[in-house]
Structure 1
Amino acid sequence: MKNKNFEVKIYYTGFCTHQVKVKTKDEAINKAKKIPINKNEIFGNLENWEEADNAEEIKKICNE
């Protein structure tokens, strides 16, 4: 069988943990979203999300 070209997207889940001082849960989430992402924490807890992985055959490759 001849090899085919595929574009593959592998999805991962991860999270950052923040501590904030506010009055409500909604305020806490909104404030935490504004805090810069801790890249080391994200990379340290990544897990593959296999249900979202996808591969699509590429019929025509650009620049080839």
Structure 2
Amino acid sequence: MNQNKIIYYEQPVNDDGNVLVADFTAQRNNGVVQNIAVSVNTVAGYQANKDRVITAFDDFLAAIQSETV
């Protein structure tokens, strides 16, 4: 019997106009975090929303580290 358990994580960050600024994704497969991706739409968008992006990234890291399978 296949015991694989895959959990997907995504933490998008939008600006006040609901435009995507950054996106963080990863997956956990049988307790191993893999395929971690960090995407930033534009440097200008990142700079204008720097605090929001940093907070979202901290939350993303906490989520992928706290989950146990």
Please confirm whether the aligned pair reaches a TM-score higher than 0.5, indicating the same fold. Answer: no
The structure with the greater share of residues assigned to helix is: 2
Q: Which has the higher contact order (CA 8 A, sep 6+)?
A: 1
The structure with the greater share of residues assigned to strand is: 2
Name the TM-score, length of structure 1 as normaliser.
Answer: 0.28
